[in-house]
Amino acid sequence: MAAAKISLVLGSHAHVPYGAETSEFEKVYAGLLLPFVSGLYKYPQVQAALHYSGVLLHRVERSHPELLMLIEDMVARKQVEMLGGGFYEPMLPIIPLQDKIGQIELLTTYLRKQFGKRPQGCWLPAFAWEQGLVNPLAACGMGFTFLGERQFALAGGNEYAPCICEDQGKLITVFPVLQSPEAALAGKGVSALLSNLLENYNKRRPEKAEPVAALFPLKVSVGKHETAEKAWCRFFEELSRCESYAETVIPGKLMKNLNGLQKLYIPDSSDTADEMPPRRFTIAHPEAGGIYAKMVFTNVLINQLRGDKSRKLSAHEELWKAEGGDLFRFTGADGLHNHLLRNAAYSALLGAERVSREKSKFVPSLVPFDFNMDGAQEWLFQDARINCYVQSTGGGIFELDYLPKTWNYLDTCGGRFAFADRLLPPALKVENLKYGAIDGARLCRGESYEPVELDKVRRKLRLLLHRLPSLEKTPSSPKTKSSSSLKSSSLKTPPPFGNIEIEKTYSLKKDAVCAGYIFTNCGTVKEIFQFAPEIDLALPGETDAFTRFFSCKSVQADTALAQPLLRAIDGLKIHDIKNEVQISLAANRPFDGKISPVRIPDDTTGAELYQAWCIMPLFPVSLEPGEKWELEFTLRFSH
């Protein structure tokens, strides 16, 4: 039997998310794009497939058009094939069908205009796969795509040969990609990597066809006195010397000569063994689920437009900007926990919502709607300038949009929301106030508030949190336990302040959200506690360059806060410097309190990533049995 020869699809993939800072783009350009493309240009015998997202190419076109000229030249001499895909690098499985097609066609049109050829195949971000993708990909003229070798193994396929996937009679060819090749390349180089691949193939010889492999290395090792471009040139030189047993070929040309391919069903999967598919990710991470829900909701609003195709297309193009896949996976500070990327996504979503609204005067509304698609009802306040969305769990506001600036002031992480109620021990000092759990406190964040009034005319929602049962009996068998053990196990410690009932009323007025409280002691003994709700606000940044706080007292001028503690104030003013918005928080009772930045550790570096500011007003409360205590907040926006 003749020695096998590898058909190698060599490729390069890069992307910068929509909303990323210029420094991040320049880092990707200088570290990956320029060295790879410049080095490849010097080796015309080495063929390659390039996939750079539409976001990235658009920024290259504006900042470094000379790089596109090199790529255009290589396309013309048939050394390079450009791969299509979604323009904004979306997680294709979870976006609506029309957005799948729209995003792919947007990048296809861009590539055709820029390089003179329509792409024949596409790249899937994160290799996020569902079998139902076959139909829309084929409908967009995509004849092939790529998935990781581990995904081929999940399907029982051959990682050395492309396969065919089918859905509703449509077919697409899928090439296997060697995953995480950087370590092997750094250790032994590309010749050793290919030799090892060929040796493994020859041991099994699963098919008569020659082996096919795809290699998309993100980087190669750079020597001490070597530039990145020289390192890539060294890589291409070594690859050129492997021509006796490996030949680079562009996938479009290779696909024409393939036949007898195995047909596979590849399970829903992503690019790494420890990374969950995007649908599961939206469930596991509330902040990703919130963006996904807003995407679906905005898509519904856009589809209600009738008779204005231009405005509908403009709204869709704004929506597509928010569908980038980086927010549906963990990629360190460049993924879900990057508040800049989330801010940009919500800004695009709210921009699409503004475009989708009728040109005539907007009619304010309050509607019950399962916004989160979790089987539970939420309540949506909508006004010309403000959206305020309330949930029953915790009775809090989980989205607060200021439409003139297309900004969601509750774009936070960890399932946080505004007006998360907490009943705290009476002895707790304001200096020790912190967001989250506190010993001896009743945290109402996870409790369910019952709707008792929905007034759509006056746009008022009243919720009720009932008193907690003071004792819970746990079933047990007296035959197997002594009376003393039965007594200790059948009774749980009464929850703190469990006899307090909370009535909570939300209303939306012009440029303001009002939250009213009535606390009732439903017990038989006096209750003394402190009330300290958490009011999160996703302000643009943590420093004075982004956000400034001022304390307000009725007989004094507003005072800039030099420390996080609030003492006997009537309200708080927040200046959002970036958006040029002033937010005022006022209460009908004076209060102490504390403000604190909300940070989340980066899973990759351990660095603390800013997310939002948490405002915690503190009120002392003392209630005799049957007594009530009332409080009202007003959160007002202006620019």
For 572, the token pair is 């708080």
Are 56 and 160 within one domain? yes
Residues 236 and 336 in one domain: no
Confidence check: pLDDT of 206 > 60: no
Whether 513 is covered by a domain: the verdict is: no
Please write the tens of the pLDDT for every residue from 144-157: 999 999 999 899 98
| Among 574, 138, 87, 604, CA closest to 336 | 604
**Residues 227, 320 within the same domain:** no
- Examine the domain organization and report whether 224 and 295 are in the same domain: no
Q: Which domain holds residue 293?
A: 286-360
Could you say which of 220, 247, 275 is where a domain stops? 275
455-510 pLDDT tens trace: 999 999 999 999 987 644 444 444 444 444 434 444 456 779 999 999 999 999 98
Q: Are 194 and 307 members of one domain?
A: no
Q: What does the pLDDT look like over 49-103, one tens digit per residue?
A: 999 999 999 999 999 999 999 999 999 999 999 999 999 999 999 999 999 999 9
d(CA 500, CA 523): 7
Q: Which residues contact 227 (CB under 8 A, 6 or more apart)?
A: 35
Confidence band, pLDDT 50/70/90 cuts, at residue 360: low
Q: What is the pLDDT of residue 471?
A: 43
How far is Cα 86 from Cα 122, in angstroms, rounded to an integer? 8
pLDDT score for 473: 45
Report the percentage of the chain scoring pLDDT > 90: 75
Q: Which of 23-32, 450-459, 553-562 shows the lowest per-residue confidence on average (mean pLDDT)?
A: 553-562
Residues 70, 211, single domain; the answer is: yes
H/E stretch holding 25: helix 22-28
pLDDT score for 27: 95
- The CA distance from 405 to 118, in Å, is 38
Q: Do residues 267 and 316 share a domain?
A: no
* 42 and 155 in a common domain: yes
Identify whether residues 266 and 317 lie together within a single domain. no
**Number of domains composing the chain:** 2
What would the DSSP string read from start to end of 194-209?
HHHHHHHHHHH--SSS
Alpha-carbon span 254 to 8, nearest angstrom = 10
pLDDT, residue 597, reads 96
Same domain, 138 and 67: yes
Residue 584: inside a domain: no
**pLDDT, tens digit, for every residue of 547-578?**
999 999 987 889 999 889 999 999 999 999 99
Contact 619, 591 (CB under 8 A): yes
Which pLDDT tens digit goes with each residue over 215-229? 999 888 888 889 999
pLDDT at 208: 58
Label residue 1 by pLDDT band (50, 70, 90). Answer: very low
Question: Is residue 183 situated within a structural domain?
Answer: yes
Contacts of 432 (CB under 8 A, 6+ apart): none
Each residue's pLDDT tens digit, 256-276: 888 889 999 999 988 765 567
Separation of alpha carbons 476 and 478, rounded Å = 7
Same domain for 195 and 52?
yes
User: In CATH, what number is assigned to the domain containing residue 239?
Assistant: 3.20.110.20
Is 412 among the domain residues? no
Rounded mean pLDDT, 611-621: 97
Q: Please, what is the average pLDDT of the chain? A: 91
pLDDT tens for residues 501-512?
A: 999 999 999 899
Domain boundary among 275, 297, 313: 275
Distances in Å between the Cα of 170 and the Cα atoms of 99, 151, 167 are 19, 20, 5
- The predicted model gives 601-620 an average pLDDT of 89
Domain contains 575: no
Gap between the Cα atoms of 13 and 49, Å rounded: 9
In a domain, 459, yes or no: no
199 occurs within a structural domain: yes
Angle at 546 between CA 545 and CA 547, to 5 degrees: 110
pLDDT in tens, 311-349: 999 999 999 999 999 999 876 667 888 999 999 999 999
Of 253, 275, 297, the last residue of a domain is: 275
DSSP per-residue string spanning 526-553? -EEEEE--BEEE--S-SSTTTEEEEEE-
- Residue whose token pair is 């066609």: 105
Q: What angle do CA 294, 508, 434 make, to 5 degrees?
A: 75
pLDDT at 204: 66
What is the rounded distance in angstroms from the CA atom of residue 591 to the CA atom of residue 587?
Answer: 8
Whether residue 484 lies inside any domain: the answer is no
**Residue 51 has what pLDDT?**
98
What pLDDT sits at residue 207? 55
CA distance 449 to 464: 5
Is residue 61 domain-shared with residue 171, that is, in the same domain? yes
Concatenate the DSSP letters of all residues of 237-286 into one string.
Answer: HHHHTTTTTEEE--HHHHHHT--SPEE--PPSB-SSTTS--HHHHHHH-H
CB atoms within 10 A of CB 496: 18
Asked if 614 and 593 touch (Cβ cutoff 8 Å), the reply is no
Predicted confidence at residue 179, as pLDDT, reads 83
